């Protein structure tokens, strides 16, 4: 585990961020005492892109709604 001071963070952030990017944990010290620990973030799953057509087909199973906006709102509410 590497260490860096608060001043190092301020003056050499690019180098410290590379350590973190490479998987290192970095203990930040302030006045000689451990102050915080910076760790790499956990990997988040990559979600598939939204399928807009599938969402539209689910919202409007009977196809597009004809008419003005009021008709569309009534259809969405189930009033039609």
Domains and CATH numbers, the chain: 2-38 (3.40.1620), 51-80 (no CATH)
Phi, psi (degrees; rounded to nearest 5) at 4 = -150, 150
- Helix H or strand E segment including 2: strand 2-5
DSSP state of 67: S
Q: How far apart (Å, rounded) are the C-alpha atoms in residues 35 and 20?
A: 17
pTM: 0.52
Dump pLDDT digits (tens) for 20-44. Answer: 999 999 999 999 999 999 999 888 7
Q: How far apart (Å, rounded) are the C-alpha atoms in residues 48 and 44?
A: 12
CB 3 within 8 A of CB 26: yes
Q: Band of the pLDDT at 64, cuts 50, 70, 90? A: confident
């Amino acid at each position: 585990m590497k260490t860096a001071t608060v001043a190092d963070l301020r003056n050499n952030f690019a180098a410290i961020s590379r350590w973190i990017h490479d998987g290192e944990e970095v203990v930040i010290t302030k006045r000689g005492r451990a102050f915080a620990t910076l760790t790499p973030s956990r990997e988040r799953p990559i979600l598939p892109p939204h399928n807009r057509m599938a969402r539209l087909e689910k919202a409007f199973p009977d196809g597009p709604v004809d008419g003005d906006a009021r008709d569309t709102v009534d259809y969405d509410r189930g009033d039609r």
